Amino acid sequence: MEKELIKYLSQFITPERLHLFENILSLRTNYLTVVLENIFHPHNASAVLRSCDCFGIQDVHIIEDRNRYEVNPDIALGASKWLSLHKYTSASKSVLSELKKRNFRIFAAVPDTGAVMFTRMDIRQGPFALVFGSEKNGISGDVKEMADGYLTIPMVGFTKSLNISVAAAIMLQHFTFFIRTNIDKSAWQLEQKYHEQLLLDWMRKTIKRVDLIEETFWKNQRLK
C-alpha cells in the first residue's frame, strides 16, 4: 500500500523534488552507522549530523543516558530532518549489543596512538558502527568492552586531538567514498522497503496539509 500512497502523493510534489529525493535515497547507506555517546556540546553533535547527511549516512544512534541532546538548528542546517535518529537513555552496552545482533561490527574513534589508523580498517568485512564518545571523557567503559577495534587519525602537530565534529567528517568522507566505490551496491544501498518508508516520510515533510490529502487517499481506498 505504501507504493500506492507514494504514487498518489507524487501529484502534490514537483517532479524535480521527487527526483531529488530518489537520487539522494539511491546514495544513502546504513552499511555504516554512527553512534554518538553522551556528547556534551550540542553544537558538536549537530555538526556530526550535518556530516552524516552530507555523506549519505541515514541512521544515527544517540546515547544520552548522561547528557541530553537537542539539535542546534544553526549548526545542523536542517540535516536532522532527513536522518533517522535513534535516541536512547539506556546504557551504551545494551545499545551496542543490539547493533551486534544486527551484525554490525563496533569501532570506536579515539585519539590514541595505539589505535589503528582509520584508513587501514578493512571496510569490506561487513557493516560497522562508528562510535564517538564524549568530549570530556571519551568513550565509556561499555564501549571499550564491546568494541571490535579502535580507530584514530594520525597527528603530526603540537595538538594531539581534533574536535569531534572534524574527526567525524574526516572519517565519514573516507569511509563512505570507499563503500560506494569498492563494495557492491546490493550490500550498501538501503533495502527497498526502507527506501520507500523514507521516501514517504520525506514527502510528508514537504507537502502542505498532507494529513488532509492522505485522508482523501484512504477514503478512496475504502470505496474501491
Is there a domain that residue 90 lies in?
A: yes
Give residue-wise pLDDT tens across range 65-107.
665 656 555 544 467 899 999 999 888 899 999 999 999 999 9
Q: Is residue 180 part of a domain?
A: yes
105 and 169 together in one domain: yes
* Assigned domain for 11 exists: yes
On whether the CB atoms of residues 9 and 210 are closer than 8 A, the answer is: yes
* The three grid cell numbers given for residue 136, joined into one nine-digit string: 570530556
**How far is residue 213's CA from residue 138's CA, in Å, rounded to a whole number?**
47
Model pLDDT for residues 114-168, shown as the tens digit of each residue: 799 999 999 999 999 999 988 777 888 999 999 999 999 998 898 888 889 999 9
Question: Do residues 56 and 91 both lie within one domain?
Answer: yes
Is the residue at 224 inside a domain? no
Joined together, the cell numbers standing for residue 107 give 569501532
The confidence score (pLDDT) of residue 68 equals: 61
Residue 25, domain member (yes or no):
no
Taking alpha carbons only, the member of 106, 107, 124, 117 closest to residue 178 is: 124
65 with 142, same domain: the answer is yes
Could you tell me if residue 223 is inside a domain? no
92 and 201, same domain (yes or no): no
Contact 92, 69 (CB under 8 A): no
167 and 204 belong to one structural domain = no
State the total domains in the chain. Answer: 2
Q: What is the DSSP string of 129-141?
A: EEEE-BTTTBS-H
Residue 55: exposed, middle, or buried by beta-carbon count in 10 A (0-12, 13-18, 19+)?
A: buried
> Where does the pLDDT of residue 220 fall: very low under 50, low under 70, confident under 90, or very high at 90 and above?
confident
Residue 23 within any structural domain of the chain: no
Q: Are residues 102 and 117 in the same domain?
A: yes
Same domain, 12 and 42: no
Same domain for 161 and 96?
yes
In-domain check, residue 123: yes
Residue 75, pLDDT score = 46
* pTM score, whole prediction: 0.91
Contact partners, residue 206, CB within 8 Å, separation at least 6:
13, 17
Q: Are 77 and 12 in a shared domain?
A: no
Asked if residue 93 and residue 47 are part of one domain, the reply reads yes
Q: What is the CATH number of the domain that holds 171?
A: 3.40.1280.10
| 121: containing domain | 30-189
